[in-house]
Amino acid sequence: MSDRVVITGLGVISALGTNVEGNLDALLHERSGIGPITVLPTRHRGSIPVAEVHLDDDALAALAAPRAVRSWTRTALLGLRAVKEALAHAGIDPAAQRTAFISATTAGGIDKTEPIYDQYFLPEIPDEAAQYLGTHDPGDHAQRIAAELGFRDLVTTISTACSSSANALMLGDRLLRHGLTDVAVVGGTDALCKFTVNGFNSLLILDREPCRPFDRDRAGLNLGEAAAYLVLETEARARARGADVLAVVSGYANTNEAFHATASSPDGTGAYEAMRQALAMARLAPEAISYVNVHGTGTPNNDASEGIALNRLFHGAVPPFSSTKSFTGHTLGAAGAVEAVYAVLAIRHGVHFANLRWRTPLNEAPLVPVTRTRRDVAVRHVLSSSFGFGGNNTSLVLSAPEARP
Amino acid sequence: MKRPVYIREASAIGPQPVFDTDRLEQVAAYTTHPLNAVVPELRRYVDPVRGRRMEKVARIGLGTALNALDRAGGAAPEAIIVGTGLGCMESTERFFVPLLHNNVAGQIALATRCTGYNYTYLHRGISFTSALLDGWMQVGLEGRATVLVGGAESITPDYYLVQRRSGIWKQHDVPNLEVLRATDGGALCGEGAAFFVLGDTPGPGTAVRVVDVDISYRGGAETLRDRVQAFLQRNGLSTDRIDLLMTGRNGDGPQDGAYAPMEADLPQATHAAYKHLCGEFFTANAFGLWLLWSGLRTGHLPAEAVLRSGSAAPRWGLLVDHFQRTDHSLVLLERIGP
């Protein structure tokens, strides 16, 4: 019988706040992080709302406080801040045992290399550009954070679009269950950058207004930036060292639709399969789920297919659900971990978070989300989904420590 | 419980003529670099019309993935796990198409109609070995029967120059078959793809199994030596049991020094190398694993790959690779049977 894997530390920085407390406060008080662009230098200022961390790079560097600021991209700084918070919360020193660091990103260090890219081809590279040589690839942020904080074992990066950091959590859990590491720090980070704003804009899936997930009149997603990490260890280890067990990893699944390179299937088969298999691993019947943190990007395509999949899985009796992307925007590679952190907060604090700005049910699946944040509810098992571009779908089931299937 | 994990079949494309075979016979010599992958006729696997719109990394990745499955008797994978340091960087450079890092794994899933687990690791020199570790867990510890793992990388013009500016390539031309004698810094840039069908039963031909995989970050030469010792120890092997050592020596003199203490612990083994044949790139160790598998399976390695001859008919094979002295991978293989 393998030992359960538990969560003993959380760290998050998003448009809602620079730490877990700030994020929780915004969620409880229905304070959305979506608004006009104020930090990112882009021609889309004024026309596209985003969910920014309202700190410029210097202020963010001061907050994250790496030993030397040189060569730190915004993606890496966001990650460092959240990893530090998670480690401190869990009371873990990465160098004190085998500690895996599984990170995730989609944009990587492009936020810093895109504005200076042309300078790399000059005969002499100015230092402002030279310091970011080699920060372009997705692995840069993870190595930089690992070096800063003393990780020495497995340090790796997953990039599977919007499911990336949920997949990092899955890998961390598996390494622990097989005894291949003692502690796993899992999560993801993505800074807003012109590359993603322009790319998503060209796909015509950005809402010009704050997004309306699961609403009939939804018109697309808002991009956000964030980093979130969770500390995982076996329950035996956590109990032995007297750590506070925040939640249990009960189940998960990753599926791939093999439907299209970028679009998801209209009938939500991949989403359904990810959720169904995650419940099967957790040995839970659908009615055991207390709250669903849906992927809910606000794009016509995603919400319709996810709604159909939810109806199918829960036989029409969908539990209380909401998309916290109505607060944070879609934070891409970080989204799965951000929402896993929120799932743990929902369990710990007995909350169903609001799905902001919802008015009218979808035509495809007339579901009514949680429209106002509800407190003092019993949350035992949370289903949290992250469905990626290209049909890479992951669902997680996180449970209260005392909840038994 | 832990089950054996076999390499049922494998396929590679790169600067060497290795496609659709399990041995490297005629080593290709190059006098200039980067070393480009020689792309064979892939019509069987990649639709020519769609292929023209695909990046090279996707074409060679898809080609080797499907060829490996073919060679394994038309196996259907339950999971697809890909390592690539840059993903589809060329699309990024040319079209600013976002977030297609997992495009190769997605293309393979489309071609094989595989709706199962689909992961992509992008982490520099351990991109491929992360995929291998994952696949090894899936078969050995989680009961999947057939898992496809691989690594793919192609040189994009911009990124080659950016990396050149950071000093990781030699600034001058050196014949690839002489580069391991170099003492100056920098390696020869290369590219390629290699895929492996992992399974819980051996495939046709001589069986080779993946015994263990270890990935670590940082550490100097002594740390690497200790890591190898601990790795062999946890697998119940003393250093003198290793018959074939495949290192990631790449001709960057100062960096190759990191292998020396570890190599000195294995004096009886055949010492071989592969990065002078395929060039250095984020997933070069996928070709390293291919060559180690080939050496164990066929008993043959080209003379150009062998740095020092040791035991014949090798049984235990060890891949030791580092990238820029930060990303370290160890893979232990065993040939089963005669």
Are A105 and A201 in the same domain? yes
Residues on chain B touching A157 (C-beta within 8 angstroms): 121-123
- A405 inside domain: no
CA distance A318 to A402: 24
State the pairing for strand pair B146-153/B79-83: parallel
Residues B79 and B172 occupy one common structural domain: yes
Q: Is A200 on the interface with B (CB under 8 A)?
A: yes
Residue A230: the pLDDT is 98
Which residues are registered as beta bridge partners of B199?
A: B6, B146
**Which of B123, B138, B148, B327 would best serve as a mutation to test chain A binding (most A beta carbons within 10 A)?**
B123
Q: Half-sphere exposure of A58 toward its Cβ, with a 13 Å CA cutoff?
A: 0
- Point out the domain boundary residue: A207, A240, A273: A240
CA distance B300 to chain A (A): 33
Whether residue B1 lies inside any domain: the answer is no
Quote the minimal CA–CA distance from B225 to chain A in Å.
15
What letter would DSSP give residue A160?
B
- Residue A196: list chain B partners with CB under 8 A: 98-99
Please indicate, yes or no, whether residues A224 and A302 belong to a single structural domain of this protein. Answer: no
Question: Hunting for tokens 């590219």 — which residue is that?
Answer: B191
In a domain, B244, yes or no: yes
CATH number, domain of A165, equals 3.40.47.10
Mean pLDDT on A163-181: 97
A390 inside 8 A of chain B by CB: yes
Query: Is residue A286 a part of any domain in this protein?
Result: yes
Whether B124 sits inside 8 A of A143 (CB atoms) is yes
Alpha helices by DSSP H, B142-220: 157-165
**Nearest residue on chain B to A269, alpha-carbon basis:** B115
Chain A 114-173, residues with CB within 8 Å of chain B CB atoms: 117, 120-121, 125, 133-134, 136-139, 142-143, 146-147, 151-161, 167, 171
Q: Last residue of some domain: A240, A261, A286?
A: A240
User: Are residues A255 and B117, on separate chains, in Cβ contact within 8 Å?
Assistant: yes
Neighbouring CB atoms inside 10 A of A241's CB total: 12
Q: Structural domain of residue A123, as residue ranges?
A: 5-240
CB atoms within 10 A of CB A372: 12
Residues 321-340 of A with CB under 8 A from B: 332
Please report residues of A whose CB lies closer than 8 A to that of B163: 134
Which residues have a Cβ under 8 Å from the Cβ of B47 and sit 6 or more positions away?
Answer: none
Domain end among B158, B176, B199:
B199
A254 neighbourhood in chain B, CB within 8 Å: 117-119
Q: Which residue has the tokens 């909401």?
A: A322
Contacts of B78 (CB under 8 A, 6+ apart): B114, B116, B117, B138, B144, B145, B146, B147
Provide the H-helix boundaries in A283-389: 300-313, 325-328, 335-349
Calculate the CA B265 to chain-centre distance: 24
DSSP A265: P
What per-residue string of b and e applies to A78-110 under the rule 16 or more CB within 10 Å gives b?
bbbbbbbbbbebbebebeeebbbbbbbbbbbbb
User: Which chain A residue has the Cα nearest residue B92?
Assistant: A195
A189 and A320 both lie in a single domain? no
Same domain, B244 and B176: no
| Helix spans in A91-161 (H) | 110-113, 127-130, 139-149
Q: What are phi and psi of A279, to 5 degrees?
A: -65, -40
User: What is the domain-level CATH number for residue B39?
Assistant: 3.40.47.10
Quick one: B24 and B145 in the same domain? yes
**A217 shares its domain with A256:** no
> How much is the pLDDT for B96?
52
pTM exceeds cut of 0.80: yes
The C-alpha angle with vertex B229 and arms to B225 and B230, in degrees rounded to 5, equals 115
Residue B120 has its nearest CB partner, among A108, A142, A158, at A158
Residue A1 pLDDT? 36
Distance CA B170, CA B154 (A): 18
Say whether both A136 and A190 belong to one domain.
yes
Residue-wise pLDDT tens digits, B60-100: 999 999 999 999 999 899 999 999 998 776 666 555 554 57
Q: Which residues of chain B have pLDDT under 70?
A: 1, 89-99, 338
**What are the tens digits of pLDDT across the range A223-255?**
999 999 999 999 999 999 999 999 999 999 999
The verdict on A247 touching B (C-beta cutoff 8 Å) is no
Chain B interface, best mutation among A137, A189, A194, A200, by max B CB count within 10 A: A137
**Which pLDDT score is estimated for A351?**
98
Residue keyed to tokens 């996180």: A398
- Mutation test of the interface with chain A: which of B54, B90, B122, choosing the one with the most A Cβ atoms within 10 A? B122
Same domain, A330 and A388: yes
* Residues B101, A196: C-beta atoms closer than 8 Å: no
Q: Which of A125, A153, A156 to mutate to test the interface with B (most CBs of B within 10 A)?
A: A156
Contact between B219 and A152 using a beta-carbon 8 Å cutoff:
yes
Residues A225 and A316 in one domain: no
Site of tokens 């359960």: A4
Residue of A nearest to B214 (CA): A154
Number of H helices, E strands in chain B: 11, 11
- Asked if B118 lies within 8 A of A392 by C-beta distance, the reply is yes
Residues of B in contact with A258 (CB under 8 A): 109-110, 112-115
- Helical (H) or strand (E) element with A370: none
CB within 8 Å: A159 and B120: yes
A171 vs A104: CA distance, rounded Å: 11
Q: DSSP string covering B25-88, please?
A: -SPPP-SSSS--------TTTS-HHHHHHS-HHHHHHHHHHHHHHHHTTSPPPSEEEEE-SSSS
Q: What is the mean pLDDT of residues A68-73?
A: 92
Nearest CA in chain A to B124: A139
pLDDT of B60 reads 96
Number of domains in chain A: 2
In whole angstroms, what is the distance from residue A352 CA to residue A372 CA?
8
Claim to verify: residue B79 and residue B187 sit in the same structural domain:
yes
Identify which of B96, B101, B216 has the shortest CB distance to residue A159.
B101
- B219 shares a domain with B164: no
Q: What is the Cα–Cα distance from A213 to A362, expressed in whole angstroms?
A: 10
Determine how β-strand B270-273 pairs with β-strand B244-247.
parallel
Interatomic CA distance for residues B44 and B27, integer angstroms: 25
Domain annotation covers residue B324: yes
B203 versus A355: which is more confidently predicted?
A355
Q: Which of B326, B176, B150 is nearest to A137 (CA)?
A: B326
- CB-CB under 8 Å, A167 with B119: yes
B192 and B218 co-located in one domain: no
Look-up of token digits 């993505």: A190
Residues A79 and A33 in one domain: yes
In the predicted structure, residue A116 carries a pLDDT above the cut 90: no
Domains of chain B: total: 2
Instruction: Please write the tens of the pLDDT for every residue from B272-297.
Output: 999 999 999 999 999 999 999 999 99
| A141 interaction partners in chain B (CB closer than 8 Å) | none
* Alpha-carbon dihedral angle through residues B219, B221, B225, B231, given to the nearest 10 degrees: 40
Co-location of A235 and A288 in the same domain: no
Q: Which candidate in B88, B104, B119, B215 is best for mutational testing of the A interface (most A CBs within 10 A)?
A: B119
The rounded distance, in Å, linking the Cα atoms of A181 and B213 is 13
Among B182, B199, B216, which residue terminates a domain?
Answer: B199
A147 with B218: Cβ contact below 8 A: yes
Secondary structure of B300-321 in HEC code, one letter for each residue: CCCHHHEEECCCCCCCEEEEEE
> Which residue has better confidence, A189 or B222?
A189
Domain boundary among A216, A240, A264: A240
**CB distance B123–A142 less than 8 Å?**
yes
**What confidence score (pLDDT) does residue A111 get?**
72
Q: How confident is the model at residue A290 (pLDDT cuts 50, 70, 90)?
A: very high
Does B44 reside within a domain?
yes
Residues of B in contact with A134 (CB under 8 A): 162-163, 166
Q: Residue B166 belongs to what domain range?
A: 6-199
pLDDT in tens, A10-39: 999 999 999 999 999 999 999 999 999 999
| ipTM of the prediction greater than 0.90, yes or no | yes
Q: Are residues A307 and A192 part of one domain?
A: no
* CB distance B150 to B64 below 8 Å: yes
Q: State how far the alpha carbon of A303 is from the alpha carbons of A268, A291, A386, in Å.
A: 9, 17, 12
Q: Do B96 and A200 touch (CB under 8 A)?
A: no
